[in-house]
Amino acid sequence: MLKSIAVMTSGGDSPGMNAAVRAVTRTALHQGVKVWGIRGGYHGMLDEDIFEMQSKDVSDIIQRGGTFLGTARCKRFQTPEGRMLGYKNLVDRGIQGLVVVGGDGSLRGASTLSQETGLPIVGLPGTIDNDVWGMEYTIGCDTAANTILDAMNKLRDTASAHRRVIVLEVMGRSSGWLAMVAGISGGAEYILVPEEPFDLEQICENMKADYERGKRYILMVVAEGAGKASEIGPIIAEKTGIDTRVSKLGHIQRGGSPSVIDRVNASRLGEHAALAIISGLSDIVFGFNRGHVVSINLHDAVTNKKQLDPSLMRLAKVLA
């Protein structure tokens, strides 16, 4: 049994990270284990921005987006010297295990730290991209998808009023999950994702045919990894002759009060992570599969690439 653990958030923030940290903290305290918070991701670990937490430190945060611990992407931690310094700062405080909430880059850092130092580490998937291998859900993806859906509903009003094509660019540097589920739920005619090549010339021909058949307006969702709305929009306008506008949602989709799903899932994952690390488990990341909490080998999770479900890609085309 570990007696003292730390928790941190790292990489891009996602709604529900606070709920996860709250659950890790309160579960550990409930077990009589000391909990430390690390501020600002791996930066805070290196700069000793580490504080002991009580239950009240995680009060009033479950409803908030972002992460009250702060987060960062840290270059120094990518060196062996940086990781050794981080490890020493934890050991100096008697910290025996670490829970890291973050996306694939942050979990990769955690995996390396654990391999190099032997520090027990448990990961939780925190990213709106939903791109961690071995699981169907990451903390924050539901809220982000709903934020995009809300934007699509609004864009639909104005697209319909003007009979325009609207191209909406959403996040997803290397994963099209957000674009795909938001596009399907928002009724987009076209969804472009990095996982699937597309032929813009052909799409423009199809759009012209759509209008000739009587379609009043068209919504296209583009994952940033598939292309820029600011470049795709003008091409569509030129090739189709249809009035076209573009919109980029940007970091709006990273913020906001977490949905019920993100709060409950993050809380469940946080509890699992705390109990696992306290019992001495290491090198695992918890996620959901078929609605159940599963533990995935951390190394496997960070070395494999999650694929976009082909049945979603098929469905998007059938329903368009």
The residue (of 12 and 186) whose beta carbon lies closer to ligand F6P is 12
The residue (of 208 and 305) whose beta carbon lies closer to ligand F6P is 305
Among the listed residues 13, 104, 129, 142, the single catalytic one is 129
Least gap, CB of 224 to ligand F6P (angstroms): 6
DSSP secondary structure code for residue 245 in this structure: E
Provide the H-helix boundaries in 17-176: 17-30, 41-46, 80-92, 104-117, 141-162
User: Interface with ligand F6P by CB under 6 A: which range of 34-42, 87-95, 122-130, 193-201?
Assistant: 122-130
Residue found by looking up tokens 């918070």 in the block: 37
The residue (of 224 and 262) whose beta carbon lies closer to ligand F6P is 224
12 sits near ligand F6P (criterion: CB under 6 A) = yes
CB count in 10 Å sphere of residue 250: 11
CB count in 10 Å sphere of residue 301: 24
103 sits near ligand F6P (criterion: CB under 6 A) = yes
- Out of 75, 162, 173, 216, point to the residue binding ligand F6P (CB under 6 A): 173
Q: Taking a C-beta distance cutoff of 8 angstroms, is the pair 9, 102 a contact?
A: yes
- Out of 87, 129, 155, 256, point to the residue binding ligand F6P (CB under 6 A): 129
Active site residue 129: yes
Least gap, CB of 193 to ligand F6P (angstroms): 12
Q: Which of 41, 19, 22 minimizes the C-alpha distance to 30?
A: 22
Burial pattern 182-208, b for ≥16 Cβ within 10 A else e, equals bbbebebbbbbbbbeeeeeeebbebbe
Can you tell me the distance from the alpha carbon of 120 to that of 143, in angstroms, rounded to the nearest whole number? 30
Least gap, CB of 128 to ligand F6P (angstroms): 5
172 sits near ligand F6P (criterion: CB under 6 A) = yes
127 sits near ligand F6P (criterion: CB under 6 A) = yes
Can you tell me the distance from the alpha carbon of 119 to that of 125, in angstroms, rounded to the nearest whole number? 19
- Residues of this chain that interact with ligand F6P (CB under 6 A) are 12, 103, 127-129, 171-173, 224, 254
Q: Which residues are catalytic?
A: 129
